[in-house]
Structure 1
Amino acid sequence: MLSLNKIFNKLVRGKNGQNPQQAREPLIIPRSEHTISRKQISQHALKVLYTLKEGGYEAYLVGGCVRDLLLGYEPKDFDVATNASPEQVHSLFKRSQLIGRRFKLVHVRFGREVIEVATFRAPPEAKQHVDTQGRIMQDNVFGTLEQDAWRRDFTINALYYNIRDFSIIDYTGGMADLNAGLIRLIGDVETRYREDPVRMLRACRFLAKLGLKLDKETEQGIFDWAHLIRDIPPARLFDETLKLYLSGQAAMTHDLLCHYGLFEHLYPQTAALLHEEQDGYPRTMLMKALENTDIRISANKPVTPAFLFAAILWEPVRQRTVLLMTNGMPEIPAMQRASSEIIGEQIQRVAIPKRYSLVTRDIWTLQPRLLKRQGKRAFKTLLHPKFRAAYDFLALRADAGEPLAEPVEWWTKFQTETATQQQAMVDSLGNEASVKKPRRRRRRRPSAKKTEQN
């Protein structure tokens, strides 16, 4: 990678630290002076780049994949930018699909891999393209490579790998910031956060993933404008939640969200209770869940979003359940109602699709059932489709300090025993809790014949 001094010597800047956008000449870094090799690039991404080039269009790798390659990481996705319109790109690839309204682009499919191709965008300067809060509502104003660079979010995401000569093109000082270890917004901080408040979440994700630090103005802007996250549609925040917590750095990302005041706007019910923790709980339980999530992702094990939401919202559900029980409601019905109420309130901020919320509720409502093991209850609970997730959740609670070690050990053994041994384990629990209450005799109504005689 180029040295910091060499980059600044090459990059044209105005006097007194003026915005480099005033200088129109980009920094061109030849192949001999950067570390990206075509061997590191997806063969499918290269095919898209060369097809566009042969079709007479400009074609560049852009964004996170260029950034990650320069930092020595393996990119998860490869994105392409071009001067070809979405329709022109679509016509070049048989297995492609036009998607998006606000931001129209093309997905080119190669089996399971998808290469995303976007046409150069111009800044959303027209009034009809932003709302009264400054958010971008329509982003299909096509432009030049230079315009596309300046409208991107962070300088380190505005680097372009040119397939024609394998050089890197840098309009915004992204290479200098990479060398300095900085994440810096392009342009006016307030304007850029108002255009798309999700940029604050992305900043936290990049901090956790890349080990860089925020530029001072970029960082202060998050403290100042964190509340704008509440204006983002819940469905989009669901997608962002998965990116934040299922990228392998969930624990660190969560701490950053709390530090910058973003978590309270995403999960206000949980955030309010985290400030009331006692003896490290409930924060300990949530952090244990996030650490376990990171471990599973690192080991290439599956992680279900339902379990994640169960952990994030557990304390509000638990406390609501206790309140309902105090008012006379039995435990399981109280847990069921609390689950519905907490999820109903939460989806006003972050959507949780039913395919996940139903599983989350099962995990919660199975918690009291896991403690009721006498008679036939243990066998019925073991056969529940979500038993394993609920058992893992019970073990997580025990690991966080709740007095649940005994039932966790019991269920751990119970799952591996034969039917005869399982029955013996149930019998050994004793009959006190399994003794049925005497049935109340129904009062028989007098027959019609006796009524006539009376």
Structure 2
Amino acid sequence: MPIQPPPTLIIRPAIIKRVIDLCKKVFTKNTSKNNQTSSHATTLDQPIELSRDQHPVSRQLISQSALKVLYRLNKSGFDAYLVGGGVRDILLGLKPKDFDIATNATPDEIKGLFRNCRLIGRRFRLAHIVFGREIIEVATFRGHHDEQGTQDKKTSKQSEHGMLLRDNIYGSIEEDAQRRDFTINALYYSSKDFKVLDFANGVSDVNNKIIRLIGDPETRYREDPVRMLRAIRFATKLDMQMAPETSKPIKDLSPLMANIPAARMFEEFLKMFISGKAVANYHQLRKYNLFGYFFPAVDQKLPTLNLAQKSEPGGDDLLERFIIQAMTNTDKRINNEQRVTPAFLFAAMLWYPLQNYIKQINLHNQMSPQDAFFAALSEVMPEQQRSIAIPKRFQGVMKDIWILQEKLVRREGKKAFKTFEHPKFRAGYDFLLLRSEIETDNDQLAELAKWWTDFQNVSQDAQLQMVRGIKSAPNSRRRTPRKRRKPAPSTAAK
């Protein structure tokens, strides 16, 4: 029997077009995915999994509140991980202060599971779950931005400088790891199988004490310029070194900090200067031209830095020594677990700019010391508020500290006892000690500081004797009131 030839395959043009379109779609998708991967070159295709016996992270070291959140999310069918600083600090042998959680549940789904939950944030929505004074922050896995700009502008928006203004794009855990800032923060701990997932060789960088950005550093800094501050803060806090590619762009990109809102700069001030590492952070901020975005009036008067990052002659050396000593004292108090107020450091930072304004006012106007002070205050504070939004509760304490410097000089009669009873006397006295410690050539200031130190350590009778020994200032004597003249008789009454 003869072999029949195969039937002729007829391919219609419509089918060919559909196949071509499908191929284009698939290859475009793969190319986009490859581009995303290349832009995040420090992340791994598959995470390194550390089993329970390969890492020190234990539930005993994790907050019970954080565990409750992890358990409930897992029980409800969601993936949930302890992420970032909590895992990193345990690996370093430190006691974690924050326990952040990442999950594939959306903010609304999280809120539906926890009655004690409140949603915050406009740039990126977060869930804060409140357990008394403890707050557990829960974030939904972040996704990648659509480079072609086809995503809804309600969920994603960037400024002309590349800064993310809105970032509510959700994705997978792999995408979330790529969106994190540093490799040491791309670490995830699961309470289900007790594994640590390392997406960016973060464990290696933890062991080698290296701060390394995930992705292209310039792009990541443009997305959020505060990352430059975070890189410095993590390096000083954890006693690590920044990788060269992470530190290199900071000085050139420092002008991006001008776009950060003053309210956010206040939060960053607390993290940089009220954390026990103020002096170290100050030197790094100066090195990378970032300090001026916190205190522009102070930065203009500081000595310039040479190539070796050392202060050169010129500028106000007294000002720099004063603020460094104030930061040193603050660091000591924090590390000794003593109370501090940001108002004291703000008062120290702006003390000499305030005095310079007072001198300028006195050169051109004949004002009383009190009027000159308030005139200078009205210049200094609004200027500073444009950089850091200092809350009013701290502004009041700053003003009290400054006013007390004048009151501490006036000790005759009952004035010393009234000053001693002032609610902010201790802060004002500490500020006086700081001034006397730096202004070593001012003998009157040293004598005044010693007098108030002795005054606090003697009996009330001895305090009276000390006050009696104070000579009244020439302008402090009471003037006898003038006798009122009798009014002239009214002509209308006649």
TM over 0.5: yes
Counterpart in the other structure of 2:259: 231
Question: Structure 2 vs 1, CA of residues 281 and 132 (structure 1 numbering), >3 Å: closer, same or farther?
Answer: same
Match of residue 378, structure 1, among 416, 433, 436: 416
Match of residue 29, structure 1, among 50, 59, 63: 50
Question: 1:164: Cα distance to partner?
Answer: 2.0
Question: 1:394: Cα distance to partner?
Answer: 0.7
Matches within 5 A, 1:262-277: 262-275=290-303, 276-277=314-315
Letter in 1 for 2:421: L
Question: Structure 2 vs 1, CA of residues 92 and 139 (structure 1 numbering), >3 Å: closer, same or farther?
Answer: same
Question: Structure 2 vs 1, CA of residues 92 and 435 (structure 1 numbering), >3 Å: closer, same or farther?
Answer: closer
- Secondary structure in 2 matching 1:325: helix
In the comparison of the two structures, how many residue pairs are matched?
437
Question: 1:440: Cα distance to partner?
Answer: 8.0
Asked if the contact 1:181–1:212 (Cα under 8 Å) also holds between the matched residues in 2, the reply is yes
Question: 1:413: Cα distance to partner?
Answer: 2.4
Question: Structure 2 vs 1, CA of residues 55 and 365 (structure 1 numbering), >3 Å: closer, same or farther?
Answer: same
Match of residue 190, structure 1, among 218, 229, 233: 218
Match of residue 477, structure 2, among 436, 447, 451: 436
Give unpaired runs (5+ residues) of structure 2. Answer: 1-37, 304-313
The two structures have a TM-score, normalised by structure 2, of: 0.83
Question: 1:325: Cα distance to partner?
Answer: 2.6
Question: Structure 2 vs 1, CA of residues 138 and 428 (structure 1 numbering), >3 Å: closer, same or farther?
Answer: same
Give CA-to-partner distance per residue, 1:95-116, whole Å, 9 cap, x none: 2222222211111122211111
Give CA-to-partner distance per residue, 1:225-280, whole Å, 9 cap, x none: 111111000000001100111111111111111111100122110111122545x4
Q: Please tell me whether residue 282 in structure 1 is matched to residue 319 in structure 2.
A: yes
Asked if the contact 1:78–1:115 (Cα under 8 Å) also holds between the matched residues in 2, the reply is yes
Match of residue 412, structure 1, among 429, 447, 453: 453
Paired with 2:100 and 2:438, the residues of 1 have a C-alpha distance of 41
Give CA-to-partner distance per residue, 1:369-411, whole Å, 9 cap, x none: 2112223322232232222211111111112234322111211
Match of residue 177, structure 1, among 205, 208, 219: 205
The root-mean-square deviation of aligned C-alpha atoms, in Å, is 2.4
Question: 1:451: Cα distance to partner?
Answer: 12
Letter in 1 for 2:175: Q
Match of residue 343, structure 1, among 381, 390, 394: 381
- Secondary structure in 2 matching 1:332: helix
Asked if the contact 2:41–2:214 (Cα under 8 Å) also holds between the matched residues in 1, the reply is no
Aligned-pair identity (%): 46
Stretch moving more, 316-325 or 217-226? 316-325
Counterpart in the other structure of 1:324: 361
Letter in 2 for 1:350: I
Match of residue 215, structure 1, among 215, 221, 243: 243
Question: Structure 2 vs 1, CA of residues 89 and 430 (structure 1 numbering), >3 Å: closer, same or farther?
Answer: same
| Greater C-alpha Rg | 2
- Secondary structure in 2 matching 1:297: helix
Counterpart in the other structure of 2:281: 253
Question: 1:21: Cα distance to partner?
Answer: 5.4
Give CA-to-partner distance per residue, 1:145-190, whole Å, 9 cap, x none: 0111111111111111122211111222222222222111111111
Q: Please tell me whether residue 424 in structure 1 is matched to residue 465 in structure 2.
A: yes
Counterpart in the other structure of 1:20: 41
Counterpart in the other structure of 2:34: none
Stretch moving more, 175-184 or 428-437? 428-437
Match of residue 354, structure 1, among 388, 392, 414: 392
The two structures have a TM-score, normalised by structure 1, of: 0.90
Letter in 2 for 1:282: L
- Secondary structure in 2 matching 1:137: strand
Paired with 1:331 and 1:42, the residues of 2 have a C-alpha distance of 54
Counterpart in the other structure of 2:26: none
Question: 1:124: Cα distance to partner?
Answer: 3.4
Counterpart in the other structure of 1:58: 79
Asked if the contact 1:124–1:136 (Cα under 8 Å) also holds between the matched residues in 2, the reply is no
Match of residue 67, structure 2, among 39, 46, 52: 46
Paired with 1:125 and 1:401, the residues of 2 have a C-alpha distance of 58
Q: Please tell me whether residue 97 in structure 1 is matched to residue 135 in structure 2.
A: no
Question: 1:201: Cα distance to partner?
Answer: 0.8
Give CA-to-partner distance per residue, 1:4-57, whole Å, 9 cap, x none: xxxxxxxxxxxxx99635752222222222222222111221121111111111
Letter in 2 for 1:405: A
Give CA-to-partner distance per residue, 1:185-225, whole Å, 9 cap, x none: 11111111111111111111111101111111210111111
Matches within 5 A, 1:156-167: 156-167=184-195
Question: 1:368: Cα distance to partner?
Answer: 1.7
Question: 1:452: Cα distance to partner?
Answer: 11
Asked if the contact 2:48–2:197 (Cα under 8 Å) also holds between the matched residues in 1, the reply is yes
Letter in 2 for 1:316: P
Asked if the contact 1:277–1:283 (Cα under 8 Å) also holds between the matched residues in 2, the reply is no
Question: 1:441: Cα distance to partner?
Answer: 4.7
Letter in 2 for 1:37: S
Question: 1:317: Cα distance to partner?
Answer: 1.0
Stretch moving more, 411-420 or 435-444? 435-444
Question: Structure 2 vs 1, CA of residues 432 and 94 (structure 1 numbering), >3 Å: closer, same or farther?
Answer: closer
- Secondary structure in 2 matching 1:76: coil
Give CA-to-partner distance per residue, 1:269-293, whole Å, 9 cap, x none: 0111122545x41111111111111
Matches within 5 A, 1:197-208: 197-208=225-236
Paired with 2:320 and 2:162, the residues of 1 have a C-alpha distance of 35
- Secondary structure in 2 matching 1:261: coil
Asked if the contact 1:257–1:263 (Cα under 8 Å) also holds between the matched residues in 2, the reply is yes
Counterpart in the other structure of 1:12: none
